[in-house]
Amino acid sequence: MGKYKINFFHYSQNSILVNWPQSISIEISTDINTFCKALYNDGNIIEYKKGYCSLLIQFNSENISYDYFRVYLINIYKNLKKINIVKPLVWEVPVCYDNSFSFDMKEYSKKISLTKNEIIQLHSSKTYYLHMYGFLPGFMYLGGLDSKLQISRKNIPSRRVLKGSVAVGGSQTGIYPSNSPGGWYVIGNTPINLFNASNLNQPVAIPDSNYVKFTPVSIEEYELIKDEVKKSEYKFIKREFND
């Protein structure tokens, strides 16, 4: 039996939106994951996309009607068993907070009244839960930013944020997987690749529902890691997550 009261919405000709209680939490994300695992091998499902507290499922509307599919989903949720989800890992992401990368650090530091060192310390001491991907290919939605680090987004977004930029916006922190316009404050950069379009089975480096921790590195270490990444020799440091 699923833990929450969920509801359904006929979203488009061939998709259904499943809503969990509207708040951001690891418990809700875990429940959505358990539900997705139970759906996994069904031929009537074309694809699904997770949100923080919702799931949009595209179904094969030529084979199955919306009403039938909804009842089918209700039954799956009713009979949801606690399954042994693989233990989440903490993936260490090296970040260089050097001035040559932290383009918005000065302004950010002033706005939230913390020194650069305090910001780095707070930002790199937490583990962040990877709820889902979105915005850009390989962009992680990470939950768990310290409230002292939260800041409203820039009024005017930057036209070009560099690939690898580690940034803060609203109650979130994240990494730009490619060059892109963006409205967050850039405080560092990671040399690792988060997205590889040629990897058909797993184009993202870090699977969702895991944890991410930022490890500060010097500019020399940054260059070394960048070189390893280039030669495809870079190995992530990861460990089991313990509450």
Partner 1 sequence: MIEILDSGYHITIQDRGRTGFSKYGVPLSGSMDYISSNNANSIIGNSIDEPVFEITMMGGKFLFTEEVDICISGAVFEVKLNNNSIDNNTIIRAQKGDILNFGKALKGFRIYLAISGGFDSELILKSSSYYENITSSTVVKKGDTFDLFRNKTIPSSYINYPELIFENIIEVSRGPEFNLINGNDSELLQEQFFTVSSNNRMGYFFENGLSSNNFSIITTPVIPGTIQLTPSGKMIALMKDGQVTGGYPRILQMNYNSISILSQKKQGDNIRFKLINLS
Please give the residue ranges that form the binding site for partner 1 (CB under 8 A). 9-13, 15, 17, 19, 22-24, 46-56, 58, 65-67, 132-139, 141, 177-178, 195, 197-198, 200, 203-204, 208
Nearer to partner 1, 4 or 52 (CB): 52
The CA-atom distances, in angstroms, between 1 and each of 4, 34, 70, 185, 218 are 9, 11, 16, 42, 49
Measured from the CB atom, the residue of 65 and 117 that comes closer to partner 1 is 65
Q: How far is the CB of 32 from partner 1 (least distance, A)?
A: 11
Choice between 73 and 217, CB closer to partner 1:
73
Q: In sequence order, what E strands does 21-122 have?
A: 45-50, 54-59, 89-95
| Shortest Cβ 60–partner 1 spacing (Å) | 11
Cβ closer to partner 1: 125 or 170?
170
Residues in the chain, overall count? 243
CB of 40 to partner 1, least distance (A): 12
Which lies closer to partner 1 via its Cβ, residue 111 or residue 170? 170
HSE (side-chain half, CA atoms, 13 Å) at 164:
18
Minimum CB distance to partner 1, residue 47 (Å): 5
CA distance 123 to 213: 9
Report DSSP state, residue 96.
B
Among the listed residues 79, 103, 120, 76, the one whose alpha carbon sits nearest the alpha carbon of residue 176: 103
Residue 114 or 138 having the CB closest to partner 1? 138
Q: How far is the CB of 68 from partner 1 (least distance, A)?
A: 11
Q: Among all chains, which residue has been given the structure tokens 């932290």?
A: 102
Minimal distance, residue 136 CB to partner 1, in Å: 6
Closest C-alpha to 177, from 144, 137, 148, 217: 137
CA dihedral sign, ordered 46, 34, 139, 185: positive
State the DSSP H helix or E strand holding residue 161, giving kind and residue range, or none if neither.
Answer: strand 158-161
